[in-house]
Amino acid sequence: MPGRKELLKMSSWKKLEAHFSEMKDIHMRTLFSDDRSRGERYRIIHNNIYFDYSKNIINDRTLQLLVELADEVNLRTEIERMFTGEIINETEKRPVLHVALRNRSGNAVYVEGRDVMPDIYAVLEKMHKASDDIRSGRWTGFTGKPIKNIVNIGIGGSDLGPVMVCEALKYYSQRDINNFFVSNIDSTHITEVLQRTDPGETLFIVASKTFTTMETMTNAETARRWIVEHLGSEQAVAYHFIALSTNSAAVAKFGIKTDNMFEFWDWVGGRYSLTSAIGLSIMISIGYENFIELLEGFHDMDNHFRHAPFKENIPVLMALLGVWYNNFFGSHTYALLPYEQYLHRFPAYFQQGDMESNGKSVTRSGARVTYSTGPVIWGEPGTNGQHAFYQLMHQGTSIIPADFIGFIKPLNPVADHHDKLIANMFAQSEAFAFGKTESEVRAEGVDGKLVPYRVFEGNRPSNTILCPRLTPEVLGSLIAMYEHKIFTQGIIWDIFSFDQWGVELGKLLAGRILGELSSFNSPADEHDSSTKALISHYRSITRE
């Protein structure tokens, strides 16, 4: 990073600009007809992952220039800086070492000269014991009943990762233990969960890196009152609450004993924390062995990212292609389309992963960026999206690049469902890329006036990620793949991907307004007239 040249002044960027003017009007129909082996040439097969990136508006020259860009931004050095524990989260003065959490190599990882692996193994072992005790019924509540309901109370990274993985790996879960997730401060969320659970059989996992987040602490206090009220004793808290946190003082103050606290460290970012203690609800659901398999999958992708040459490196290529569309074609949104019902929270998970990481507008040296950075990430599982928003993707005015994610073998085979599912996935990427020309429409005998409506321009880019089967290991690799894509794009855009200062202002103002909602004084003058009127109107109705 020292002395890093401005992105738009880099020689590879200038070459890409010139190259873009040659590529922008080229259609994928031409690219495919000019090269009959394109589908085999533009793909990477790494262990369980088949990554097809042939349906992009690129040629060999594009790839060469994009890889040149990765070299020019010193991506290789930056990757090493992360993996070796340098303080790359400069605004929070921390290393970024989620890769250590799933380091299965047996090698040491140092933070300020100290190997952090023994601490990581110790917490994993503690999680192992607790999850075995809970799954086997050995862990009993205050009234002696085994635990049947796990309620994870957390938000953002302390919620989305566990919920996404518990859903994704539900097939491997122990079915007599129910997993609930409470995140929203809206009391409806916790009320609906508490209505469905027996206090004597319920274990709350309060997941919060800081143990100060308003939503989580409010929900945790409500859960605590509910336990004490229903089980009739303050002592019940010790049996029904676990904390996952870096803040042992706040955990103790809440009344959770040290034995029931699972620690992690400030070099684990919230949205990169699901393989830390934050993953306890996952381990309880799928068991220790499956959790270790998940870590193995992460680790394999970490190694691939760290060592594979850029032109054969899946996360790097994904990132470079994303930059190609974002910064050259002006595509500012990106769709994640898993054709797998179990992955229904995958897009929501990477909404935080990507948008909280790369939704930044100041470079690492403090200047305002002069180019666009992180895109809006969104998506739904196939085939639901096809009957909702795909219309815009096919015939709307913007180009929306997309990733299709599918699995060859279904976990729940029933009749021909799976072939139909995957036929739809392949069909959509084909339709996006090639569309349907006017002459093809006419040849179908479509009435003259209707022809323009029936034309599909095509040339809509996508990647297809195909894996043999959804296993914990494959899921780990897929998550790590997207994490490293985000890292790579952050380096190219020269932004800090591991802080999130943009969430602070809202938190501060909410704290201020909270006091005013119950006060009899008029709203503070420093508010604008809209906010003041909203507060006054709210108060007038709540006091009716």
Candidates 47-55, 206-214, 234-242, 339-347; binding stretch for ligand F6P (CB under 6 A):
206-214
Dihedral sign (CA 532, 534, 539, 541)? positive
Query: Nearer Cβ to ligand F6P, position 216 or 497?
Result: 216
Candidates 208-216, 456-464, 482-490, 523-531; binding stretch for ligand F6P (CB under 6 A):
208-216
Query: What's the closest the beta carbon of residue 207 comes to ligand F6P, in angstroms?
Result: 7
Query: Nearer Cβ to ligand F6P, position 255 or 359?
Result: 359
Query: What's the closest the beta carbon of residue 191 comes to ligand F6P, in angstroms?
Result: 21
The site map against ligand F6P for 298-317 (x = CB under 6 A) is: --------------------
Candidates 151-159, 192-200, 222-230, 257-265; binding stretch for ligand F6P (CB under 6 A):
151-159
158 counts as binding ligand F6P under rule CB under 6 A: yes
The site map against ligand F6P for 352-391 (x = CB under 6 A) is: ----x-----------------------------------
DSSP 174: -
Query: Nearer Cβ to ligand F6P, position 209 or 460?
Result: 209
Query: Nearer Cβ to ligand F6P, position 157 or 200?
Result: 157
Helix (H, G, I), strand (E, B) or coil at 378: strand
Of 24, 129, 420, 507, which one is the catalytic site residue?
A: 507
Contact 456, 464 (CB under 8 A): no
Catalytic site includes residue 311: no
Residue for token pair 């929203």? 184
- At residue 457's C-alpha, the angle toward residues 454 and 462, to 5°, is 125
Query: Nearer Cβ to ligand F6P, position 208 or 489?
Result: 208
Query: What's the closest the beta carbon of residue 215 comes to ligand F6P, in angstroms?
Result: 8
Contact 42, 54 (CB under 8 A): yes
Give the separation between CA 122 and CA 225, rounded to whole angstroms: 32
Query: What's the closest the beta carbon of residue 422 comes to ligand F6P, in angstroms?
Result: 34
Q: Of residues 54, 202, 208, 357, which one binds ligand F6P by CB under 6 A?
A: 208
Of 112, 387, 449, 544, which one is the catalytic site residue?
A: 387
Residues 449 to 508: which contact ligand F6P by CB under 6 A? 500, 503
3-state secondary structure 129-170: HHHHHHHHCCCECCCCCECCEEEEECCHHHCHHHHHHHHHCH
3-state secondary structure 9-53: HCHHHHHHHHHHHHHCCCCHHHHHHHCCCHHHHCEEEECCEEEEC
Candidates 154-162, 284-292, 483-491, 510-518; binding stretch for ligand F6P (CB under 6 A):
154-162
Contact 336, 347 (CB under 8 A): yes
Instruction: Identify which of 281, 378, 325 has the alpha carbon closest to the alpha carbon of residue 489.
Output: 325
Query: What's the closest the beta carbon of residue 4 comes to ligand F6P, in angstroms?
Result: 26
Q: Of residues 155, 177, 220, 343, which one binds ligand F6P by CB under 6 A?
A: 155
Query: Nearer Cβ to ligand F6P, position 98 or 304?
Result: 98
Query: What's the closest the beta carbon of residue 109 comes to ligand F6P, in angstroms?
Result: 22
The residue ranges of DSSP E strands in 351-509, in sequence order, are 376-378, 402-407, 462-467
Catalytic site includes residue 356: yes
Q: Locate 321 and state its tokens.
A: 């292609």
Candidates 41-49, 129-137, 140-148, 207-215; binding stretch for ligand F6P (CB under 6 A):
207-215
Residues 518 to 537: which contact ligand F6P by CB under 6 A? none
List, in order, residues 6 or more apart from 244 with CB less than 8 Å away.
154, 158, 205, 206, 207, 208, 261, 262, 264, 276, 277, 278, 280
List, in order, residues 6 or more apart from 355 with CB less than 8 Å away.
374, 376, 377
Query: Nearer Cβ to ligand F6P, position 103 or 216?
Result: 216
Query: Nearer Cβ to ligand F6P, position 413 or 502?
Result: 502
Candidates 14-22, 41-49, 155-163, 321-329; binding stretch for ligand F6P (CB under 6 A):
155-163
Q: Of residues 103, 131, 216, 275, which one binds ligand F6P by CB under 6 A?
A: 216
Buried b / exposed e across 76-105, counting CB within 10 Å, b at 16+?
eebbebbbebbebbeeeebbbbbbbbbbee
Residues 259 to 278: which contact ligand F6P by CB under 6 A? 270-271
Tell me, by CB under 6 A, how many residues bind ligand F6P. Answer: 14
213 counts as binding ligand F6P under rule CB under 6 A: yes
Q: Of residues 210, 222, 372, 424, which one binds ligand F6P by CB under 6 A?
A: 210
Query: Nearer Cβ to ligand F6P, position 8 or 503?
Result: 503
**Burial of 538 (C-beta count, 10 Å sphere; 0-12/13-18/19+):** middle
Query: What's the closest the beta carbon of residue 173 comes to ligand F6P, in angstroms?
Result: 24
Of 167, 356, 380, 483, which one is the catalytic site residue?
A: 356
Give the separation between CA 437 and CA 459, rounded to whole angstroms: 11
Q: Which DSSP string corresponds to 238-267?
A: HHHEEEEES-HHHHHHHT--GGGEEE--TT
In the chain, DSSP finds a helix count (H) and a strand count (E) of: 23, 13
Catalytic site includes residue 230: no
Query: What's the closest the beta carbon of residue 214 comes to ligand F6P, in angstroms?
Result: 9
Instruction: Identify which of 41, 256, 242 has the alpha carbon closest to the alpha carbon of residue 153.
Output: 242
Residues 419 to 438: which contact ligand F6P by CB under 6 A? none
Query: What's the closest the beta carbon of residue 142 comes to ligand F6P, in angstroms?
Result: 26
CA diameter of the chain: 78
Contact 402, 462 (CB under 8 A): yes
Q: Locate 69 and state its tokens.
A: 């860009």
List, in order, residues 6 or more apart from 405 with CB less than 8 Å away.
336, 337, 338, 339, 340, 343, 346, 465, 467, 478
Q: Which residues are catalytic?
A: 356, 387, 507
Which residues bind to ligand F6P, rule: CB under 6 A? 155-158, 208-210, 213, 216, 270-271, 356, 500, 503
